[in-house]
Amino acid sequence: MDTHSKYFLGIDVGGTHVKIGRVKTDGEIVDFHKEITANLRSSDVGFNLSFLDIVGKYLKMYGDIDHVGIGLPGLTSKDRNTTLEIPAIKELNGFDLRTQLEKRYAGITFHLENDANAAAAGEYYFGKEKTPESFLFITLGTGIGSALILEGKVFKGARGNAMEMGHMLSRNNIRLEVLIGRNGILKILANNMEKYPDQKGRFAEEELGMHLLVACAGEGNKVAMETFKEVGEILGEALVSTIRVLDVTQVYFGGGISAGLPFIQPSMEKVIHKHLSSYYVQALHIQRASLENNAGLLGAAALCFMD
């Protein structure tokens, strides 16, 4: 594909919004739009047909598009034609999405991918710093997503849906994203507020959330610091296993909770250094991904480079 001076359409499908962006080859988002997911789901024709219509709306708006990347919050078939399990939008389960799009919009090439894989691809192509050819990408948010870029390609696994770290069993046989997804972190926070009642600070007065947690950690609040310490320990345990299995030592963190990485990282690295040999730890490099709020959209656009 000749990508010189081209534009791509990136579509980030989420449970709250469908974000659409017209993106240049260098990663500049030239135009940005949002559609409310609930409105598509409640339409007379249902989400699937409404989504097909929405894609057509923006293809008509921008006549210079011939490649469209779509990031999806769930599992897809290995050939990336069919959406298999999309928990946030169950209407998509088993829908032959790419085939239907190609039937409607002849001459347009569509690229479908899991949203964590897309975010990793976005960092690979559009990140502010040059990434290595192989790295682990983890999104910390409502859930836990993960992806592996292996020698410049998304690693899909035997059947197309590898790297679901959020569903790894962790402490007490509980899934990782239940423990340290957003709700899990808030549960840890509540436990620490009970454990250190005299150290609540702003937590006693303001609405609990990730922004407050990061801000309080920055102020040195004990409750916040203990919360991130536990998150780091749990995440470190998961990384020990993942690093051993994949032999990857370059790790990037994205997602909203990655803003707390400076407070998560010390306890996380302590666990990693305790359980991994020098072969791994001497090459270990952990950092926050650079695309931040644009990761989903730019990741979707980056899929146009991956095939």
pLDDT single digits (tens) 100-151:
999 999 999 999 999 999 999 999 999 999 999 999 999 999 999 999 999 9
CA distances from 303 to 13, 45, 59, 137 (A): 14, 28, 17, 15
The mean pLDDT of 83-110, rounded to a whole number, is 96
Tell me how far apart the alpha carbons of residues 111 and 303 are, in angstroms, rounded to a whole number: 6
For residues 127 and 290, is the Cβ–Cβ distance under 8 A? Answer: yes
Tell me how far apart the alpha carbons of residues 289 and 304 are, in angstroms, rounded to a whole number: 20
The mean pLDDT of 80-101, rounded to a whole number, is 97
Confidence class for position 90, pLDDT limits 50, 70, 90: very high
Tell me the CATH number of domain 135-289, given options 1.20.1260.10, 1.10.3210.10, 2.70.98.60, 3.30.420.40: 3.30.420.40
Confidence class for position 164, pLDDT limits 50, 70, 90: very high
Fold agreement (7-126+294-306, 135-289): yes
Mind listing the pLDDT tens digit for each residue in 167-184? 999 999 999 999 999 999
pTM: 0.94
Q: Which two tokens stand for residue 261?
A: 């990485």
Question: What pLDDT shows up at residue 220?
Answer: 97
Q: Kindly tell me if the per-residue pLDDT of 25 is higher than 70.
A: yes
Q: Kindly tell me if the per-residue pLDDT of 306 is higher than 90.
A: no
For residues 231 and 180, is the Cβ–Cβ distance under 8 A? Answer: yes
Tell me how far apart the alpha carbons of residues 200 and 230 are, in angstroms, rounded to a whole number: 17
Q: Kindly tell me if the per-residue pLDDT of 204 is higher than 90.
A: yes
Within 10 angstroms of residue 199's Cβ, the number of other Cβ atoms is: 17
Question: What pLDDT shows up at residue 2?
Answer: 52
Calculate the average pLDDT of the chain: 95
Q: Describe the strand order of the beta sheet including 153-154 as a list of residue ranges.
A: 153-154, 144-150, 135-140, 250-254, 285-288
What DSSP string runs through the chain?
---TT-EEEEEEE-SSEEEEEEEETTS-EEEEEEEEHHHHHTSTTHHHHHHHHHHHHHHHH-TTEEEEEEEESSEE-TTS-SEEE-TT-GGGTTB-HHHHHHHHSTT-EEEEEEHHHHHHHHHHHH-SSPPPSSEEEEEESSSEEEEEEETTEE---SSS----GGGSB-GGG-BHHHHHSHHHHHHHHHHHHHH-GGG-GGGGTS--SHHHHHHHHHTT-HHHHHHHHHHHHHHHHHHHHHHHHH---EEEEESGGGGGHHHHHHHHHHHHHHHS-HHHHTT-EEEE-S-GGGHHHHHHHHHHHH-
Confidence class for position 239, pLDDT limits 50, 70, 90: very high
The mean pLDDT of 53-65, rounded to a whole number, is 96
CATH superfamily label, 7-126+294-306: ATPase, nucleotide binding domain (3.30.420.40)
Q: Taking Cα atoms as reference points, which of 154, 165, 143 lies closest to residue 256?
A: 143
Domain residue ranges in the chain: 7-126+294-306, 135-289
